[in-house]
Amino acid sequence: MKNLLRIFEFDKIVEAKTDVIECAVPRRVFVWLEAQCLRTDDDALGWLKMAQVNGQRAIQVTSYVGVLRAPCGFQIEVLPKTGKHTSPDEARWLLIEMLKCLVGFRHIKTANANLTTERMPLLEVFIQQFLKAVEALVKRGLRSDYVARQDNLFALRGRLLVAQQITQNLVRRDRFFTDHDEFLQDRAENRLIHTALRHILNMCRSQENQRLARELSFVFADVPLSADVELDMQRVRLDRGMGYYEAALDWARLILQGLSPISGFGKHHAPSLLFPMEAVFEAYVEKHLARQLRGDYVLKAQARSQHLVAHGAQRWFRLKPDLLIRNGQKNCLVLDTKWKLLDTSKNNAREKYKLSQSDFYQLYAYGHHYLDGTGDVVLIYPKTDAFAEPLPVFDFPKANGMQLWVLPFCIRKRQLILPNSLALSKFFIQNICEN
């Protein structure tokens, strides 16, 4: 695709000139990226930053993944950095798999061959999924509802509005100004889906997506567009038997409101779906790690019950580990996910496997407050060729037997790789992922 650039996290983008540079974009796109990078309003986020490449101005993407679309239609796909060790196609497929674990994206159907065989741009993939959800809804039929109407009719229906009748029909004995109910498809759910379809028509470049979007828009021809999206969102009411509306409405909400951290809709006219990779990885681990637990153990996400310090009657600095394994009311294991690439070949005091000291401080605090300073805490990193097996356990000399484990999570096989240790095997099914 001519107007598509595919890069990885933390790659740098430059303006295309005479030299052929891999991560280069047209001048108009680079100017737009610079403007986004320098924004100072409340919507500005750290998804882009200024940089340099051989003395040339550049824009560096950060740890956000997904798709950017400039106002001119040029698209930039940002893939997980783990793809540098495999292939862009595999990284793209794994990203779609991982996005399924995020709220609002659970309706992605990766069983669809189009997602794995066609190299469709990510934005077109999202559009396709929305259109397929609407198509499935249409096959089951649009729901109607009674809508209150006031109109000047040739027959008396409902309640006659006397004041309006005298004002408008004093000499028109064949007309009746009434307040009545009509059974119409004009309900909030249908208005939102129709409005999202209209948005899609202006975005998609795939001929198949454009064709399907037009066909579905024709089905909604009798449904007006939403005049107030926020108000209609509040009016959504999935009555009994309307469960089949859920997928289409989730996608419509994503398109119209922008549930991802970065949304270019609105005044910028540049639909973008970018996601912090830390959050994507955490959601992915949370979903699949729960299936690996033994017996009566349960996985709790984002525990919030403990604070670092007490100050008078107040407690400050809430401690929120990503994951907590419990048995009944007892905390058993604290786990935190980190989207960083480790390297087991750097096992020396200077490089320390590329581990972060602040992460160890964080887990030390979690262990003391959630496990009373005993037991085990775990740091989970993505599995790569450079980090394929658990690291030897880390001991805290001044703690009461507390240990820290650094474990890889195999994204492709959706499971945590465990050490040969009884300390953790009592919590998890011992199913080691092959390299």
* Mutual angle of helices 122-140 and 88-99, in 10-degree steps: 40
* Residue 318 to residue 302: CA distance in whole angstroms: 11
State the pLDDT at residue 220.
92
Which of 256-270, 393-407, 421-435 has the least mean pLDDT? 256-270
Residue 18: per-residue pLDDT: 53
| Chain segment 13-23, per-residue pLDDT in tens | 988 875 556 78
pLDDT value, residue 390 = 95
> Is the four-CA dihedral 25, 27, 29, 34 of positive or negative sign?
positive
- Among 230, 189, 210, smallest CA distance to 131 is for 210
CA dist 173 and 165 (Å) reads 10
pLDDT value for 40? 54
Mean pLDDT of all residues in the chain?
A: 83
Q: Which two tokens stand for residue 429?
A: 């099914």
State the pLDDT at residue 378.
Answer: 96
3-state secondary structure of 73: coil
Residue-level pLDDT at 333: 94
Helix, strand, or coil (residue 135) = helix
Assign residue 414 a region: left if phi > 0, alpha if psi is -120 to 50, beta otherwise?
left
3-state secondary structure of 76: strand
Q: What is the pLDDT of residues 164-200, one digit of tens each?
A: 777 777 777 778 777 766 656 788 899 999 999 998 8
Any long-range contacts for 24-30 (C-beta under 8 Å, 24+ apart)?
25/74, 25/76, 26/72, 26/74, 28/70, 28/72, 28/74, 29/70, 29/72, 29/74, 29/76, 30/59
| The pLDDT of residue 212 | 93
Residue 178 in 3-state DSSP?
Answer: strand
- The two beta strands, 298-301 and 48-53, are unpaired
Lowest mean pLDDT among 47-51, 226-230, 410-414: 47-51
The domain limits of the chain are 1-85+264-276, 145-184, 293-425
Q: Give the contacts of 105 (CB within 8 A, at least 6 positions apart).
A: 99, 254
What the block records as the tokens of 176 is 């009746």
318-366 per-position pLDDT tens digit: 999 999 999 988 999 999 999 999 999 999 999 999 999 999 999 999 9
CB 402 within 8 A of CB 367: yes
103-130: average pLDDT: 66
> What are the tens digits of pLDDT across the range 375-426?
899 999 999 999 999 999 999 988 778 999 999 999 999 999 999 888 888 8
